[in-house]
Structure 1
């Protein structure tokens, strides 16, 4: 469903598992940090609200969204990490660079989850402009960080 029709922070509470003993890795892109810090704040708050312990949440920063898959892989290979959440923002520019980065990031994150057989969540915004990013990072469409954290929780209950 298009995010213009849905609030990213609204979700069903069905299949919410007990995460008190679960450990989460969160990989955050430093590029577009105004957006990614908001995504991180929402993801962290959602995990804590649903019972995760703060000392079981590990944050690692990477320079940009292109580096998210490798950062995710470094966390996913740790046996104690149960799920990895990748947070980034790639804003459309004037060149095809956007297409290449978004495709590489999506494929890379997917491959990490399949390789390590654990949830690796795509919490990457791919908006056309800064305003669309702000709208999806705590603005009128909610926060993709919240949605990413809920996805991780639900996948752990699968």
Structure 2
């Protein structure tokens, strides 16, 4: 497992650009709120810690991870945004629903990024169980929301060059 010995919130090995010149959108799934709430907190805190102004962060909620794509597309109608972070959690169940949702969300987020020519960050946990999700939403493996925010900052800075 890739994160078995890694903390998703540790960026001590790299220099993170300042977020202060950029505007960000965050679209977060309401499904699995016990996981997506901490992901949102982690992303928001990481953005502001690295210089983003609170008024430069626009947050919307969508019902589930499948709707993250539509939410990101809606946010990017605001052409002043430099990057959008998609936060969600899909937990494996007893059916193939998991596979279809994960695939659709990954492809959809990529499509929206290419359509708008803006960074759209995949901050979606795809786990086997709730404990794995909690471990990656502020638990023993850090917070995927923080990782997604740092990625958004880095990509916004890269896009500006």
Give the TM-score category using the shorter length. Answer: over 0.9
* Equivalent-residue separation in structure 2 for 1:157 and 1:83 (angstroms): 10
Q: Is the 8 A contact 1:91 1:127 kept in 2?
A: yes
What residue is the counterpart of 2:4 in the other structure?
Answer: 4
Q: RMSD in angstroms over aligned alpha carbons?
A: 1.0
2:79 paired with 1:43: no
Q: Larger deviation: 147-156 or 75-84?
A: 75-84
* Equivalent-residue separation in structure 2 for 1:51 and 1:36 (angstroms): 23
What residue is the counterpart of 1:149 in the other structure?
Answer: 149
Q: Which runs of 5+ in 1 are unaligned?
A: none
* Equivalent-residue separation in structure 2 for 1:133 and 1:139 (angstroms): 9
2:136 paired with 1:136: yes
What residue is the counterpart of 1:110 in the other structure?
Answer: 110
Q: Deviations over 1:21-42 (max 9, x none)?
A: 3111000000000100000000
What residue is the counterpart of 2:55 in the other structure?
Answer: 55
What is the TM-score normalised by the length of structure 2?
Answer: 0.94
Q: Is the 8 A contact 1:17 1:156 kept in 2?
A: no
Aligned length: 157
